[in-house]
A = this chain, B = another copy of it.
Amino acid sequence: MRFFSDNAAAACPQVIDAILAANRLDTAYDGDALSQSLDGRLSELFETEVAALWVPSGTAANCLALAALCPPHGAVVCHADAHIQNDEGGAPEFYTHGAKLLLVEGPGAKLTPDTLTERLDRVAAGVHWVQPHAVSITNATEYGLVYTPAEVAEIGAITRARGLGLHMDGARFANAVAHLGCTPAEVTWKAGVDALSFGFIKNGGMSAEALVFFKPELAAATKYRRKRAGLLASKGRFLAAQILAMVEEDLWLANARAANAGAALLARAAGDRLVHPVEANEVFLRATPAEAASLRALGFDFYDWAPGEIRLVTSWDQTEEQIRPLAEAIAAL
């Protein structure tokens, strides 16, 4: 059974239905009514005026956001374990035309006000040194930890005071909000976030993520960049339809709650083995190679993460009944 990535999960029925319905429309690019309604629909969801663009991948969402917030000669500060630094094949550098990522260390892939401030202060003024223009945080983080609204607000206070943009990589934003129980607004723009990569694909979507600008004026140039990157789908209605289906009746939250619940089940079974608190749908736990092998022998599929450490990711389409055998196997190790 699949625990290696929520990227591999199915698209959910409502998304499939929306795609089938969209096939009966005939418009090109983003000229369709679905695409045109995204701004409005997501403005409602976020309780403020936003500009929202569909894009076909989280990497594209992240990197268009960074390009909107940072010039080619600038830098983006992020955690050393950030997806944009480690797992996107250099896409941030491609989209920003070579901006630099300045890295911050710390547990759980989280920035703190202290570690962020220390890194920013280390950059001397002057043209010899690439100057920070933006900060990027991931919520939930690459280790499944969640920034609270208060934590984001502390970082947002720093970025605003220094005139920096603030991007949130929300590949698992739904899982974070489901954990927090807050509104989407509280953990984003109300806390100082300027741009959000709002992930749906891991959470029941098929091929669409939303890039949400809380400063809507950032969208104008970004639309040119989206086209210029070959990301403007000829039949954009299929992407818009997915996002609309996901936000309808808070499907995004329901799906994320299901995935989180699965992870919580595993976390309880893992006990002292946990490397990080489990706040979203990822579980990192200590397991010897022999233990990992024994789990795999039972048919569970997952990644080794570090020596003596494995990663288990639960998905929206896995029920408690399906996950319980893994929980029991972990408890029995």
**Which residues of A are at the interface with B, using a C-beta cutoff of 8 A?**
2, 4-5, 7-11, 16, 19-20, 23-24, 26-29, 55-64, 71-73, 75, 86-91, 93-100, 127-131, 201-202, 206-207, 221, 223-235, 238-239
Contact = CB atoms under 8 A, between A and B. Distances in A.
A299 to B, nearest CB: 13
A48 to B, nearest CB: 25
A228 B96 CA distance: 12
Contact of A87 (B4, B128, B229, B233): B128
B230 A55 contact: yes
Identical copies of this chain, number: 4
Given A100-B90, A129-B89, A231 B230 contact: yes
Contacts of A55: 230
A95 B56 CA distance: 17
Contacts of A97: 72, 94, 97-98
Nearest to A98: B93
A268 to B, nearest CB: 25
A9 B238 CA distance: 12
Contact of A98 (B71, B98, B230): B98
Nearest to A32: B8
A5 B236 CA distance: 14
A227 B89 contact: yes
Contacts of A99: 90, 93
A230 B90 contact: no
Given A28-B8, A93-B98, A229 B228 contact: no
B229 A8 contact: no
Given A207-B233, A238-B207, A91 B227 contact: yes
Given A201-B234, A230-B91, A225 B73 contact: yes
